[in-house]
Amino acid sequence: MGTQLVPLPEVERLSASVIRILGGNPGKVSSGDVSKRILGTKWLTALHGALHSSLYKVRYPHALPYRGLSSDTPPGTNTYLIGRGRQRILIDTGQGEPTWAKHLQSVLSVEQATVHQALLTHWHGDHVGGLPDLQRLCPGAQVFKHHREPEDKYTDIQDGQVFRVEGATLRALYTPGHTEDHMVFVLEEEDAMFTGDNVLGHGTAVFEDLTTYLASLHRMRDRVQGRGYPGHGAVVESATARITEYIQHRQQREDEVLRVLRYGKLDVAAGEPEPEQRQAWTPLELVRQIYVGVPENLHLPASHGVSLVLAKLEGEGRTVQADSGAWKLAEKRSAL
């Protein structure tokens, strides 16, 4: 998956109805599936070119080029202000950084608008942490989130629920995977999708359950033809193509795990016979075979993603886990 990482403006109008406001919280390397192409990316050189157009600087004088990234730090959280009239919808609130609240206030002032409804894609702190600032700036805003726990204080989002403001119709889709409560939102006027953290503008996503995540990716792909507005990273011009990439990447990882379990190595010649005896592998041992060239300090987070692949295969009856914690192919279903 070779999408180039790019620095992003802290505030940017993406379409007639969508303004992106960065959360001001530089992210961390994904702990679920370490994408090899992220490693060693030359961020600092690219940052020198991260300037707004002169027109946008006039409209939003406090919007600065995105700053504060180290050479191995992906972009932080994207939040989106949606609509064209006085009442707007906000998707996600960032982590609670003061710069985000400052930029949101500036944009609302210029647009002569207020946040009517706030929709949260999921419960993670880098998406809900700005709620106190939002409630201070827009005390009348109603906050919606799909319930994860009974004590959640927000208004529930139902699968298929529609939210409307002038210039924008958003349809909610329940898409668990990254988290159990994850929602995405289809902007019907653009046939675009706010993908949350299920699909990112760079790299691959962290997920809790692979079987559930893949089902959600297929559902998302079937419901969008236009852009993807991700929870982190740049706009995805073809959401369908990116989601297909994600599905194919997950299948590639699954095939690699099965190949090592079956042959004891990743590189297998055509027609090579299977060994008479197969060993059991821990997730970390599988990582050392599959993630060749990835620094050792990233092996442990990568092993989490491999563990989720193994759990999916176990649910399908294709792998078994020994008492030692190591994994091997199930005897009756050893073929790829």
CB-CB contact of 39 with 5 (8 Å): no
Cα atoms in the Cβ-side hemisphere of radius 13 Å centred on 77: 26
Q: Is 317 in contact with 50 (CB distance < 8 Å)?
A: no
The CA distances from residue 319 to 122, 208, 214, 335, in Å, are: 31, 19, 19, 11
What is the tens place of the pLDDT at every residue in 3-50? 566 789 999 999 999 999 999 987 543 333 333 222 222 222 222 222
Could you report the per-residue pLDDT of 132-185, keeping only the tens digit for each?
Answer: 999 999 999 999 999 866 666 789 999 999 999 999 999 999 999 999 999 999
Question: What b-and-e string marks burial along 283-294, b requiring 16 or more CB atoms within 10 Å of the CB?
Answer: bebbbbbbbeeb
Residue pair 200/233 in contact (Cβ under 8 Å)? The answer is yes
Mean pLDDT of the chain: 84
Q: Which amino acid is at 34?
A: V
pLDDT of residue 59: 34
Look at residue 179 in the predicted model and tell me its pLDDT.
96
pLDDT at position 164 is: 99
Number of helices and strands in the chain (H, E): 9, 13
User: Of 92, 126, 181, 209, which residue is the catalytic one?
Assistant: 126
Alpha carbon distance 262, 49 (integer Å): 48
Taking a C-beta distance cutoff of 8 angstroms, is the pair 288, 299 a contact?
Answer: yes
Written as six digits, the tokens of 48 are 């020198």
Q: How far is 203 from 260, CA to CA, in rounded Å?
A: 24
Is residue 60 scored above 50 in pLDDT? no
Residue ranges and CATH numbers for the domains of the chain are 11-237 (3.60.15.10), 255-329 (1.10.10)
Work out the pLDDT band at 75, boundaries 50, 70, 90: low
Q: For the residues 236-244, what does the mean pLDDT come to? A: 98
Q: Say what the alpha-carbon torsion angle 63, 65, 70, 71 is, to the nearest 10 degrees.
A: 150
Closest by CA position to 5, among listed 80, 97, 77, 74: 74
Q: According to the per-residue pLDDT averaged within each range, which of 39-48, 269-278, 314-323 is highest?
A: 314-323
What is the C-alpha end-to-end distance of the chain, expressed in Å? 23
Give the pLDDT band of residue 219 (cuts 50, 70, 90). very high
% of the chain exceeding 70 in pLDDT: 81
Return the closest-CA partner of residue 278 out of 331, 220, 234, 208.
331
Q: Coil, helix or strand for 37?
A: helix
H/E element, 15 = strand 11-15
Written as one string, the DSSP assignment of 175-213 is --SSSTT-EEEEETTTTEEEEETTS-SSS----S-HHHH
> And the tokens for 152?
């959640």
Active site residue 126: yes
**DSSP letter (8 states) at residue 84:** S
- Which residues are paired to 187 by β-bridges? 170, 192
Q: Cα separation of 146 and 163, whole Å?
A: 14
Task: Please state which of the ranges 84-88, 238-242, 279-283, 322-326 shows the lowest mean pLDDT.
Answer: 322-326
Alpha-carbon span 123 to 238, nearest angstrom: 26
